[in-house]
Amino acid sequence: MAKTPDMTKTMQDMMANFPIDTSSMQDAMKSQGVLGEKLTRVALSAAERSTEISANWAKDSIARMGELASAKQEPSDYAKAMSDFASAYAELAAEHMAAYAEVAKKVQMDTVDLMLTAGKDIAADAQKVTEKATRDTQAAVKKATSAAETK
User: How far is 77 from 83, CA to CA, in rounded Å?
Assistant: 10
* This prediction's pTM: 0.64
pLDDT at 23: 73
Residue 19: per-residue pLDDT: 65
pLDDT for position 91: 93
Report the distance separating Cα 145 and Cα 127, nearest Å. Answer: 27
5 DSSP 8-state letter = P
Give the CA radius of gyration of the chain.
34
Which pLDDT score is estimated for 130?
A: 83
Alpha-carbon gap, residue 64 to 66, rounded angstroms: 5
pLDDT in the model for residue 135: 85
pLDDT value at position 118?
87
What DSSP assignment string belongs to 80-142? HHHHHHHHHHHHHHHHHHHHHHHHHHHHHHHHHHHHHHHHHHHHHHHHHHHHHHHHHHHHHHH
pLDDT of residue 1: 54
Can you give the pLDDT of all 151 residues of the chain as single tens digits?
567 777 787 777 777 776 666 776 787 788 888 999 999 999 999 999 999 999 999 999 998 888 888 888 888 888 998 999 999 999 999 999 999 999 999 999 999 999 998 888 888 877 887 888 788 788 877 877 877 777 6
Residue 4's region, left for phi above 0, alpha for psi from -120 to 50, else beta, is beta
